[in-house]
Amino acid sequence: MVVRESLSPLTSFLVGGIILATLYLLALRLKTRRARHKIIKQRGCEAPPRLPLKDAFFGVDGIYDALRAARTKTYLDYKRSHYALHGNTFSYKFSTLSVISTIEPENIKTVLSTAFKDYVVGAPRRNAYLPLLGNSIVLADGAQWEHSRALLRPSFARSQVSDLSMLDIHVENLIRTIPRDGSTVDLGDLFLCYTADVTTDLMFGESIQSLSRPEAFQTNLMRAFRDAQAGAVRRFRLGSFARFVPQSTFYQAVKQVHTYVDAHINRAIKQHESLKQSLNDSGREDERYVFLHELLKVTGDGEIVRNELVAIFFAGRDTTSALLSNLFFVLARNPRIWQRLRDEVNQLQGRKPTLDELKTMKYLGSCLNEALRLYPVVPASSRVALRDTVLPEGGGVNERSPVFVAAGSLVVFHYFALHQRKDLWGPDADEFRPERWQNEKASWVMLTHLSTSMICANAY
Ligand code: HEM
């Protein structure tokens, strides 16, 4: 005899609901698959080579290798070896993300320019840096990004008309700190102090003055800057596994950086009203350019101001100091280039240059470009696909077919590997040769990189 037990109404409702939801999800998946298949067929997409990882689902071995390479300071070589083995575009898994890694200029141009609207900065960068940089321009997307740019544009615009005299005292401090007795000096540390001094002066109207107080380099604050930045980079490399590792040093450093910046902001907010009043009364403009004061003219929200200031501090300080360090590293090893640069500088006959004169110093410009090419201070970047889209190159056996990029995929580009491609730069791509910049055509490969860098200096 068969006993039929009827299901309770609640159970029937739940079971029915689960079945319907499953069917709905399956239908949705099928629809997505069909739509993707159509794009792949229409655009002639082919898959790029796949990075062979032991853990094909989450790429845990890849994450472990990347962290180990970072710890042993061989990360760039580690990444370069992937391009050498698998070509200029390849794919892999990184925790739950599908990644496409590329050093094809056309692909980078597509992501950052022609198909800009198909991509966002996305969760990987945002999650890693949010505790430090908040909702600032470097983590923002869409309307929020446009809002940040509109907010910052007037402050950057005023900085461009300012003269170079603000830098004088810091350059003098820098030169004074370099020993004259022929002893060895680590210019890298001094440049980091120099850019910290300049950036804080420019941002707050009050420099941290680490060059005139060498012990300041070892202060908690300087350590906090370093730990906060290093912690955020590590969080990015760990991806969604970051939450499983201890991060107290990172959070303490972030707190210290914020406390330092907040103190300046709170003081400036208090001063702002009285300053505005006195400027109105006297009918003149605030003479000394201070980024924080410019920002307070457009918003009085302390948190917004702090986020943008911290982001600009980190975007501006390390990039500039790394560029200076790299440039002097190569100049110290190239007496011919050093002499040619000195000849150009000597045309000033000991005078300080004006901004316009600086812009006409062609060989200096070529040396800076070449240092940025060989040692890009922003060595890599990435974007997440907002919708299904296509990269123009990198698929198939010859790597010339378009590559399908599913919504949610991370596209990573490594400038340090792109800038050393011999097929693009010639057989001497590994060499520091500023003269290559005197040939205008040489600059197109860097265009994609530099056009974004130019945002920092010019586009505001
Ligand atoms: C050698 C010097 C520099 C280089 C090579 C450089 C490079 C770059 C690059 C490649 C990006 C785009 C990153 C991305 O993919 O999202 C960027 C963004 C940015 N940089 Fe720089 N940068 C330099 C100096 C500076 C300085 C001095 C400042 C500020 C004082 C600055 C502020 C910014 C800001 C605010 C952004 C975000 C722009 C946006 O999303 O609209 N950078 N930089």
- The answer on pLDDT for 442 being more than 80 is no
Structural domain of 451: 334-378+430-460
pLDDT class of 10 with cuts at 50, 70, 90: confident
Q: What is the mean pLDDT of residues 56-63?
A: 82
Whether residue 339 is contained in a domain is answered as yes
Flag whether pLDDT at 444 surpasses 50.
no
**202 CA: nearest ligand 1 atom:** 30
Q: Is 149 in the pocket of ligand 1 (CB under 6 A)?
A: yes
Whose CA is closest to 197, among 188, 210, 185?
A: 210
Question: Do the domain assignments include residue 348?
Answer: yes
Which pLDDT band, with edges at 50, 70 and 90, does 6 fall under? confident
CB of 290 within 6 A of ligand 1: the answer is no
Residue nearest to atom 28 of ligand 1 (CA): 316
C-alpha–C-alpha distance, residues 325 and 333, integer Å: 13
Task: Among 47-61, 275-289, 296-310, name the one with the lowest average pLDDT.
Answer: 275-289
Task: Decide whether any atom of ligand 1 lies within 6 Å of the 99 Cβ.
Answer: no
For residue 124, the CA-to-ligand 1 centroid distance in Å is: 18
C-alpha distances in Å from residue 387, one per residue of 32, 149, 367, 404:
11, 24, 40, 11
Q: Has residue 3 got a pLDDT over 60?
A: no
450 within a domain of the structure (yes/no)? yes
- Answer yes or no: is pLDDT of 78 > 60: yes
What is the percent of the chain where pLDDT is above 90? 54
138 lines ligand 1 (CB under 6 A): yes
Q: How far is the CA of 232 from the centre of ligand 1 (A)?
A: 17
Q: How confident is the model at residue 93 (pLDDT cuts 50, 70, 90)?
A: confident
Residue 72 lies in a domain: no
Q: Check residue 52 and give its pLDDT.
A: 85
Distances in Å between the Cα of 25 and the Cα atoms of 28, 39, 49, 388 are 5, 21, 30, 18
Most ligand 1 atoms within 8 A of CB, residue of 448, 456, 458 to mutate: 456
Is 359 part of a structural domain of the chain?
yes
> Band of the pLDDT at 219, cuts 50, 70, 90?
confident
Residue 455 near ligand 1, beta carbon < 6 Å: yes
Average pLDDT over residues 315-324: 92
Instruction: Identify which has the larger pLDDT, 451 or 142.
Output: 142
- Rounded average pLDDT over 433-437: 94
Asked whether residue 185 is assigned to any structural domain, the reply reads: no
Q: What is the mean pLDDT of residues 202-216?
A: 81
Determine which residue's CA is closest to atom 17 belonging to ligand 1: 453
Query: Domain count of the chain?
Result: 1
Q: Which residue has the higher pLDDT, 444 or 362?
A: 362
User: Does 355 reside within a domain?
Assistant: yes
Residue nearest to atom 12 of ligand 1 (CA): 452
Binned at pLDDT 50, 70 and 90, residue 293 comes out as confident
The answer to whether the CB of 403 is under 6 A from ligand 1 is no
| Confidence label for 279 from pLDDT (cuts 50, 70 and 90) | low
> Is 361 domain-assigned?
yes
Sheet containing strand 97-102, strands side by side = 89-94, 97-102, 410-414, 380-385, 119-120
Res 154 pLDDT > 70: yes
Taking 50 as the threshold, does the pLDDT of residue 458 lie above it?
Answer: no
Which residue has its alpha carbon closest to ligand 1 atom 3? 319
pLDDT of 460 > 80? The answer is no
Q: Is the CB of 155 under 6 A from ligand 1?
A: no
Residue 95 CB contacts under 8 Å (≥ 6 apart), including other chains: 58, 59, 63, 239, 240, 241
